């Protein structure tokens, strides 16, 4: 395996494309550097740092859409949208120091995915540089524009093995008018499961340890006042509840989720053909899919 001997930090998408076109050895894509281990070692001579590709490119609050550079952190994205009473509910496992690009590249969801959407549900389009050094753009900034949607889905979850994501266009939501966090102590987990499939289901509900009454569940309720009041009554009917601070969800996301792994990819005829089409020289994250194992 080649040792990583240097760092390359392009200052623009055009410079990144030139770097990829001229790469003789493998490039290890690195954003915040928190999700580098995907289960297989990467053979690369250089780390490709994308720090310069960050910031808001376009934001139209009335359309509930935003476009950001891939190196923008989830924390930065949240701060910008919060000022307009909006949020992008990616909220993946891990911390808000992770980048938008890495979240999309790994298709990492989190405890809110079932109700608020997974990365593939929230990405309207993206820009990337493939292994040929081509700048590709797919999808668009508005919901009605679905041109190139298949390419968007392909790059979402490809772990940077087919292209380096540079810009992402995201769907936003209005922040809930009422947002509450509760700790539910209940002996009947089946009753909790039934509630999660009901119309008054919470934004999220995850196991949070064991107590004298059985399982403890961390629950987040969100919506308008009428809906949350009805959902709260349904919650209280399940067992004993105590109010908790919303900061508990940061702990859940940081410590409660599985480490990201490229488990949905298999090195087979299809992935081989995709790699040949988008990165025939195997410049990008070589070995991450297990093709060198």
Q: Above 50 in pLDDT, residue 149?
A: no
In angstroms, the Cα distances linking 244 to 15, 123, 145, 205, 241 are 48, 31, 41, 13, 9
The CATH architecture annotation of domain 178-255 reads 2-Layer Sandwich (3.30)
Q: What is the mean pLDDT of residues 9-27?
A: 94
Which of 36-45, 89-98, 179-188, 229-238 has the least mean pLDDT? 36-45
Whole-angstrom distance, CA of residue 69 vs CA of residue 58: 10
Structure tokens at 4: 């990583």
Q: What is the mean pLDDT of residues 151-172?
A: 93
Banded model confidence at residue 165, pLDDT cuts 50, 70, 90: very high
Q: Pick the residue with more confidence: 219 or 108? A: 219
Domain with CATH 3.30.70 in the chain: 178-255
Q: Pick the residue with more confidence: 42 or 70? A: 70
Q: What is the mean pLDDT of residues 181-200?
A: 92
Q: What is the mean pLDDT of residues 192-218?
A: 87
User: Which percentage of the chain shows pLDDT scores above 70?
Assistant: 88
Domain with CATH 3.30.465.10 in the chain: 53-174
pLDDT of residue 147: 45
Q: What is the pLDDT of residues 90-139, one digit of tens each?
A: 899 989 999 999 999 999 899 999 999 999 999 999 999 999 999 999 87
The one-character DSSP state at 94 is S
Structure tokens at 38: 């995907």
H or E stretch at 155: helix 149-155
Contact 50, 164 (CB under 8 A): yes
Q: Pick the residue with more confidence: 32 or 173? A: 173
pTM of the model: 0.89
Q: What is the mean pLDDT of residues 276-281?
A: 94
pLDDT of residue 88: 94
CB atoms within 10 A of CB 196: 16
Banded model confidence at residue 10, pLDDT cuts 50, 70, 90: very high
CATH number of 53-174: 3.30.465.10
């Amino acid at each position: 395996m080649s040792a990583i001997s240097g760092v390359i930090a392009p200052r623009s998408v055009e410079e990144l494309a030139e770097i990829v076109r001229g790469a003789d050895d493998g490039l290890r894509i690195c954003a915040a550097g928190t999700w580098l281990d995907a289960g297989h070692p990467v053979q690369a001579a250089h780390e490709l740092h994308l720090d310069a590709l960050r910031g808001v490119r376009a934001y139209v609050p009335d359309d509930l859409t935003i476009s950001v550079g891939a190196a923008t952190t989830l924390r930065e994205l949240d701060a910008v949208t919060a000022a307009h009473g909006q949020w992008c509910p990616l909220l993946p496992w891990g911390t808000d120091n992770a980048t938008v690009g890495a979240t999309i590249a790994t298709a990492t969801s989190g405890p809110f995915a079932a109700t608020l959407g997974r990365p593939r549900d929230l990405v309207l389009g993206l820009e990337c540089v493939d292994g040929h050094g081509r700048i590709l753009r797919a999808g668009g900034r508005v919901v009605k524009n679905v041109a190139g949607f298949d390419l968007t889905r392909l790059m979402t979850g490809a772990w940077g093995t087919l292209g380096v994501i540079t810009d992402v266009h995201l769907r936003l939501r209005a922040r809930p008018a009422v947002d509450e966090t509760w700790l539910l102590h209940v002996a009947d987990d089946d009753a909790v499961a039934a509630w999660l499939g009901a119309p008054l289901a919470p934004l999220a509900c995850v196991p949070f340890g064991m107590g004298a009454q059985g399982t403890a569940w961390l629950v987040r309720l969100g919506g308008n006042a009428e809906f949350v009041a009805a959902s709260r009554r349904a919650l209280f009917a399940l067992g004993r509840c105590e109010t908790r601070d919303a900061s508990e969800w940061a702990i859940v996301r940081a410590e409660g989720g599985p480490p990201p792994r490229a488990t949905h990819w298999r090195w087979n005829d299809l992935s081989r053909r995709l790699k040949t089409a988008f990165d025939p020289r195997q410049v990008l994250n070589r070995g991450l899919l297990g093709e060198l194992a």
